[in-house]
């Protein structure tokens, strides 16, 4: 796996040379830290240095001071680094403190699908012709399931089928990605029973499903740098065509969208027809969420209501997404890293 060696003179750096460590799981390193990124960053004076996530940081590169560290770690590995010990040695004043992108306690907000979307509700956005909100959702836990029937629970909460069932915790595990579209009460009952099989059930979020033309807008944020791309999503569900049961998202990813005549409209035509949101809306949304969450590296999944083209909904926020999927991601990430080390005011620091 390609990786850059630490600068020969580890005790000195000059104005245009910066040392940035990356504390990432192996799979994330493979996806993000590619030779093209290492080379592009180096040309801009950035040295990307790997951090061993299994031992204290103070024991690694003992004479090296990191200007910035980017991380996406589970709590166990973050604790292994013992970052506070490293910081105490290298000083904690404004001129020498290492910037952490992003602090783990802030990332935790996005690992719960309720607090995640709370961050996107009632944002102070200055928009003329559009609104940005979040879908209505409720949490189903064991207590609620025993006290009420699923029908009463859904109807009493103003939800209407179909709904999207998601595990409450978005912690990166396989189970956290087990999502499904639920069409009726029987499908919901089956989903909850399957969730409870084999032990204690994990809480489930039931989220309002909104027809959105089979297109999701993925907004990638890296500090003040923002880029929006279109991707295929769940197809519209005609209100006059009742369905039953459930449909897993893994199945929908290979699902052929059917048009009104049932003879199959393709995903590409939906993508091609969909107009991108106004750039000002995307940038304002990214700015507001950076300020609300205190985070710098995330993406936002946004849909546009098929019935109201001025109504946008944030349906998911992911920390440190797959930036390598973006065209020319090397410059996107490098420009952000330069902001971190040159202009701390351009980075949310909490």
Q: What is the mean pLDDT of residues 298-316?
A: 95
Residue 28 pLDDT exceeds 80: yes
Residue 225, CA distances (Å) to 111, 162, 331, 332 in order = 23, 36, 10, 7
Report yes or no: 144 and 88 within 8 Å, Cβ to Cβ.
Answer: no
* pLDDT bracket for residue 240 (50, 70, 90): confident
Residue 298 pLDDT exceeds 90: yes
Comparing 24 with 244, which gets the higher pLDDT?
24
* DSSP per-residue letters across 265-334: --HHHHHHHPPPPPHHHHHHHHHHHHHHH--SEEEEEEEE-TT-TTEEEEEEEEES--GGGSTTHHHHHH
pLDDT for 147 equals: 46
Q: Burial code of 222-255, b = ≥16 C-beta within 10 A, e = fewer?
A: bbbbbbbebebbbbbeeeeeeeeebbebeebeee
Residues of the chain above pLDDT 70, percent:
80
Residue 251 pLDDT exceeds 50: no
* pLDDT bracket for residue 186 (50, 70, 90): confident
Residue 93 pLDDT exceeds 60: no
Whole-prediction pTM value? Answer: 0.88
Q: In whole numbers, what is the pLDDT of the chain averaged over residues?
A: 84
* pLDDT bracket for residue 87 (50, 70, 90): confident
pLDDT for 264 equals: 43
pLDDT for 267 equals: 59
**Alpha-carbon gap, residue 215 to 233, rounded angstroms:** 5
Q: Which of 202-206, 212-216, 317-321 has the lowest mean pLDDT?
A: 202-206
Comparing 332 with 12, which gets the higher pLDDT?
332
* pLDDT bracket for residue 151 (50, 70, 90): low
pLDDT for 258 equals: 45
Beta strands at 163-167 and 180-182: parallel, antiparallel or unpaired: antiparallel
Digit-coded pLDDT (tens) for 97-135: 788 999 999 999 999 999 999 999 988 777 778 999 999
Q: What is the mean pLDDT of residues 299-307?
A: 96
Residue 187, CA distances (Å) to 151, 184, 193, 242 in order = 11, 5, 10, 13
Phi then psi dihedrals of residue 96, to 5 deg: -125, -10
Digit-coded pLDDT (tens) for 253-285: 444 444 444 434 555 688 888 999 999 999 999
pLDDT for 311 equals: 94
């Amino acid at each position: 796996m390609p990786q850059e060696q630490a600068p020969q003179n580890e005790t000195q750096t000059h104005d245009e040379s910066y040392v940035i460590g990356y504390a990432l799981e192996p799979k994330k390193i493979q996806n993000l830290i590619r030779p093209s990124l290492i080379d592009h960053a180096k040309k801009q004076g950035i040295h990307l240095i790997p951090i061993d996530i299994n031992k204290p940081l103070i024991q690694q590169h003992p004479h090296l001071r990191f200007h910035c560290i980017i991380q996406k770690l589970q709590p166990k590995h973050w604790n292994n680094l013992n970052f506070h010990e490293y910081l105490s040695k290298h000083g904690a004043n404004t001129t020498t403190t290492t910037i952490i992108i992003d602090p783990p306690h802030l990332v935790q907000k996005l690992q719960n699908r309720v607090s995640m979307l709370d961050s996107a509700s009632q944002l102070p956005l200055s928009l003329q012709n559009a609104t940005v909100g979040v879908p209505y959702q409720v949490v189903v836990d064991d207590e609620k399931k025993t006290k009420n029937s699923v029908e009463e629970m859904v109807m009493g909460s103003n939800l209407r089928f179909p709904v999207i069932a998601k595990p409450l915790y978005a912690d990166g595990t396989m189970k956290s990605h087990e999502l499904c579209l639920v069409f009726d009460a029987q499908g919901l009952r089956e989903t909850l029973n399957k969730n409870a099989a084999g032990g204690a059930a994990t809480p489930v979020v039931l989220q309002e499903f909104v027809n959105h033309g089979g297109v999701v807008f993925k907004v990638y944020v890296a500090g003040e740098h923002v880029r929006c791309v279109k991707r295929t999503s769940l197809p519209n569900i005609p209100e006059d065509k009742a369905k039953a049961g459930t449909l897993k998202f893994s199945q929908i990813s290979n699902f052929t969208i059917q048009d009104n005549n049932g003879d199959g409209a393709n995903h590409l035509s939906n993508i091609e027809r969909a107009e991108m949101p106004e750039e000002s809306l995307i940038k304002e949304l990214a700015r507001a969420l950076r300020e609300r969450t205190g985070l710098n590296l995330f993406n936002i999944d946004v849909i546009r209501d098929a019935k109201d083209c001025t109504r946008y909904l944030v349906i998911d926020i992911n920390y440190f997404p797959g930036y390598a999927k973006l065209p020319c991601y090397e410059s996107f990430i490098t420009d952000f890293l330069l902001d971190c080390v040159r202009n701390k005011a351009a980075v949310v620091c909490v």
